[in-house]
Structure 1
Amino acid sequence: MSAPAAHITCSSLSFAWPDGSQVLDDFQLTVGPGRTGLIGLNGAGKSTLLRLIAGELVPAGGHIRTSGEVGYLPQNLVLDTGLRVDAALGIAAVREALHAIEAGDVGEERFAAVGDDWDVEERARATLDQLGLGHIGLDRTIGEMSGGECVLLRLAALLLARPEVLLLDEPTNNLDLYARERLYAAVDAWHGVLVVVSHDRALLDRVDQIADLRDSTVTWYGGNLTAYEEALAVEQEAAERMVRVAEADVQRQKRELADAQVKLARRKRYGQKMHDQKREPKIVMGARKRSAQESAGKHRIMHAGRLAEAKERLGDAVDAVRDDDEIRVELPHTKVHPGRGVLELRDLELAYGARVRGWLDVRGPERIALVGRNGAGKTTLLRTLAGELEPVSGEAVAQVPLRFLPQRLDVLDDSLSVVENVARFAPEVTDNRIRAKLAHFLFKGARADRAAGTLSGGERFRAALAALLLAEPAPQLLMLDEPTNSLDMASVRRLTTALDAYEGALIVASHDIPFLESLGITRWLLLDGALRDTTAEEVRAGL
């Protein structure tokens, strides 16, 4: 008999954070072989679900069953910088035994340590080469590698372990275009159960099915992200049409109820008139009155019931229409007039070796994409421009107020509420004014009082963006470092909408070319040992 197919099964699963925030409630899920893209709004529980399946979190109720070994690549990967590559790959003990045997040590424990892995070094090097890490020696340390290389190294360890179930949480974060292509190839070649959480369109267009997580329920769509969006557009068009039909039905039922009440009132007045004029025998008038009352009661019940049913159908129709609110902001004080000097760099040498030779001027409301391979120094350049790092030589002079939003979003104080965090950047603005502004960033009412430390990735990003854009003085130069990391696709759209309203100069470091193009980039700068002008086409061709 053949072995049963690999799978993940979640039954009646529930999970809540210590503060009582419910994430999953009576959750059901079954995933079989193939590539599954798990999508949903930030805070829906995608990362939490992967951590539960991987065993990093314990559910409050229900059961999780998986067939075989589970491999997990977390969203925020932390590796010991002193760890050697072979240890990170999980093969250090086997390598040590192999080398000991080759040196003449034939102890039984050495052979037991090797087992059947006599070709482990060859397989490790082949896997590293497959992911573009062929230049990484097995004896090197993690501290010598870039963040993107560490992500690929962790993936290499998972591929070497050959788990039946592979879980990837935002695996393309911090990967340059070249590294992303390597990861895409690994995903294409996967034959077990694969569940990936990502906002990367190119990655999600490689999956076999989409699982859309909302309100502790998964809705399945066959095909990749593009097929999902097409199916969803048809669904939403039908749902909006049903809302219009249901609204018309509610109005019709209201009119019919009103008409019925008018007719009944007329009958009542006629009966009273007959009674007052005593035109009919008393027994007949009494019978007529009772009949009228019974008829009126039945009509009221019938029409009220029809109206209630129509309202219920309208409620169901409205629930089927997705309400992914958009950020709506007006930022007139951020405006920079064309030609005004914004930033000036001169013979700048950065802390870790990158250079900006000669002069570089940023003028007017330019929108600049800062691109380059992992480790090229993009973050170092932005931190230098923001005044967080001192240049080795040369100078960088900002001629307008600027703000910098780093990858870590550490501009927020986790112990303070969203309102209090914004107040730190705008101490002269009243609480009511801050709350009114935050509502445009989708922090309405009690949401604005939540502690920053309890926010989801997308919420935290919105809070940090609000704190910077609402700061005083208003920033006329905004610098963002990999802003789409950890954002779902709805949050990326919200970010794009918010930046559409921004009238200042913009510098964005990102590997997400479609996102950069959506911002209306006016200038592309490539950092590769030096800083030079390029184009989106050249960036793509440089994979």
Structure 2
Amino acid sequence: MSMPVISVSDLTFAWPDGTPVFDGLDAQFGPGHVGLVGTNGAGKSTLFRLITGELRAARGSVTVPGRFGYLRQDLGLAAGQRVDEVLGLAGIRNALHRIESGTGTETDFETVGTAWDIEERAVALLGRLGLHYVAGDVGQLDRRLDTLSGGETVLLGLVAELLREPDVLLLDEPTNNLDQVARERLYEVVGQFPGTVLTVSHDRELLDRVTTIAELRHGAVRVFGGNYTDYERIIDAEQEAARAAIREARSDVRKQSRELVEARIKLDRRQRYGQKMWDQKREPKIVMGARKRAAEVSAGKLRNNHLGKVEEAKDHLTDMQDRLRDDREIRVDLPGTRLYPGQDVIELTEARLPCGPTVTLKVSGPERIALTGRNGIGKTTLLHRIREEGPAVPWRMLPQRLDVFDESMTVFENVAAAAPHAAPEQIRAQLARFLFRGTDADVVAAALSGGERLRAALAMLLLAEPAPKLLLLDEPTNNLDLPSLAHLTEALASFQGALLVVSHDPRFLAGIGVTRRLELTRDGLEASPSEQ
């Protein structure tokens, strides 16, 4: 049986305020494993919600053959829920327990169906994904979510979808918050999925494991065979060709404009000579009339020939420029954030964390420290402890959930609230450096995409008063497309203060110039293997 293909036909959707997202979108995804890429705000998550029926299109149709599973960016789980409730097994487990105790009813048998080993299968799958569940210990399904880390919760959500045995699996940023070991296990589990997988991710390694890349750009989908590296190679070649075509088109515009000027000069000379002959009556009237008619013909040819060529050359230049992608960069130039070698930043001595480890940490000068450790070990807790102790310099923290905004206020208003003494024009100028130009700065925070929220949060933290000399960043690359990840890397690489970053993305950590890598274990902070 062939693998299913997701089909989208004439899909049209706009937000309630009239902002269009798709207008007549046609696309097919699959068979096999497909990576859906595109800039933040292109509509990737919106397309997922349309495919699953969570949003209703104004026109068009979506066909998903068979059952589908959908792992969202934001699982929306409550801390008090039990693991079996998230997995959708609470009802089946209750029926099983009644049957085992001898009080089961016919309804209980119908509820269980053929899923007699569902508890064992669930625990086994949880263990395969690195959730540290002991094989056969089904009592672990009674754990509450508030005992799990953010990464463990993501894996739990994936298990919930896989237990439904879907034919199609939709994954929206599945490696968010996962340490490297958990990522490797997720790669293995997803790689073995027999149906069609459609993945939105900023994880370069995950995208290099797919068989097809589908790019969502300007409301249309373009499909590329191969993985992300193959896609990037094709785009780079196209962009180089576009730049060469732009150079040629500009040269042609200059050439046609020059020929137009030369033709006009020649025509003006003829007209002046003809006018002189007419004024002096030095030629027969019939000759002068013929000359005038010839001049009018020449003027018409000039308009139809040279002017047309100039416009044609300009139109061609515009077409070539449209093919060139926007390579805007975030630019950070904040001298107030500068730290000097030896300047005290953090000093934590024998601090015991609620999750177990006892930590000693000293940071001085503009150090850039990567904090790693397995999911649930307490990395986020350590950042909060540092915040409570109070660093020695002005600081700001970027939490995983990016919940630093008043969601009802615009990007500009949020930044203005953090920097009350800054002039409006100064705030807008700085926001432009973070790619919020013109009316982009007047969008309410609730309407921002994942990457836009990250840029807005980073702008809000860096432009706050007083200027931060220390940034505490908790998984800052979550929900970012690869261009936005490059933007974030550029911004942090030019930051002149100290960084303490929780991240499991080796490319990102190398890009921001990490100077020290520490791993949080049950015994405290240790130099990571690469540092020893």
Cα distance in 1 for partners of 2:531, 2:498 equals: 23
Cα distance in 1 for partners of 2:110, 2:347 equals: 63
Q: What per-residue deviation string (whole Å, max 9, x for no partner) do you get for residues 403-441 of structure 1?
A: 111112222212222222122222111111111111111
**Using a 3 Å threshold, how does the CA distance of structure 1 residues 310 and 351 change in structure 2: closer, same or farther?**
same
Aligned with 1:56: secondary structure?
coil
Within the alignment, does 1:529 sit opposite 2:522 as a pair? yes
Summarize the alignment of residues 191-202 of structure 1 with structure 2, pairs less than 5 Å apart: 191-202=194-205
**Using a 3 Å threshold, how does the CA distance of structure 1 residues 532 and 116 change in structure 2: closer, same or farther?**
closer
Cα distance in 2 for partners of 1:414, 1:112 equals: 46
8 Å CA contact retained: 1:33, 1:191? no
Identity, % of aligned pairs? 56
Which of 469, 489, 494 is matched with 1:476 structurally? 469
**Using a 3 Å threshold, how does the CA distance of structure 1 residues 424 and 530 change in structure 2: closer, same or farther?**
farther
Cα distance in 2 for partners of 1:75, 1:262 equals: 65
Q: Name the counterpart of 1:231.
A: 234
Q: Name the counterpart of 1:379.
A: 380
Cα distance in 1 for partners of 2:323, 2:159 equals: 42
Aligned with 1:362: secondary structure?
strand
Deviation of 1:91 after TM superposition, in Å, equals 3.1
Q: What TM-score do the two structures reach when normalised by structure 2?
A: 0.94
Aligned residues: 527
Q: What TM-score do the two structures reach when normalised by structure 1?
A: 0.93
Deviation of 1:538 after TM superposition, in Å, equals 6.9
Deviation of 1:107 after TM superposition, in Å, equals 4.6
Deviation of 1:93 after TM superposition, in Å, equals 3.2
8 Å CA contact retained: 2:371, 2:502? yes
Cα distance in 1 for partners of 2:498, 2:60 equals: 51
The two structures, once aligned, show a CA RMSD in angstroms of 1.9
Within the alignment, does 1:321 sit opposite 2:324 as a pair? yes
8 Å CA contact retained: 1:336, 1:505? yes
- Partner AA of 1:129 in structure 2: G
Within the alignment, does 1:222 sit opposite 2:225 as a pair? yes
Q: Name the counterpart of 1:60.
A: 58
Deviation of 1:106 after TM superposition, in Å, equals 7.0
**Using a 3 Å threshold, how does the CA distance of structure 1 residues 26 and 80 change in structure 2: closer, same or farther?**
same
Cα distance in 2 for partners of 1:114, 1:535 equals: 47
Summarize the alignment of residues 378-397 of structure 1 with structure 2, pairs less than 5 Å apart: 378-387=379-388, 396-397=389-390
Aligned with 1:162: secondary structure?
coil
Within the alignment, does 1:154 sit opposite 2:157 as a pair? yes
Cα distance in 2 for partners of 1:121, 1:476 equals: 50
The unaligned stretches of length 5 or more in structure 2 are none
**Using a 3 Å threshold, how does the CA distance of structure 1 residues 263 and 498 change in structure 2: closer, same or farther?**
same
8 Å CA contact retained: 1:403, 1:479? yes
Within the alignment, does 1:77 sit opposite 2:36 as a pair? no
- Partner AA of 2:110 in structure 1: A
8 Å CA contact retained: 1:400, 1:477? yes
- Partner AA of 2:308 in structure 1: G
Cα distance in 2 for partners of 1:161, 1:436 equals: 50
Deviation of 1:88 after TM superposition, in Å, equals 2.4
Deviation of 1:79 after TM superposition, in Å, equals 2.0
Within the alignment, does 1:247 sit opposite 2:250 as a pair? yes
Cα distance in 1 for partners of 2:409, 2:378 equals: 32
Deviation of 1:168 after TM superposition, in Å, equals 0.3
Aligned with 1:138: secondary structure?
helix
**Using a 3 Å threshold, how does the CA distance of structure 1 residues 84 and 406 change in structure 2: closer, same or farther?**
closer
The unaligned stretches of length 5 or more in structure 1 are 388-395
Q: Name the counterpart of 1:10.
A: 8
Deviation of 1:103 after TM superposition, in Å, equals 4.1
**Using a 3 Å threshold, how does the CA distance of structure 1 residues 205 and 343 change in structure 2: closer, same or farther?**
same
Aligned with 1:361: secondary structure?
strand
Within the alignment, does 1:24 sit opposite 2:27 as a pair? no
Q: What per-residue deviation string (whole Å, max 9, x for no partner) do you get for residues 91-137 of structure 1?
A: 33334444444444575434322333344334323322322233372
Q: Name the counterpart of 2:442.
A: 449
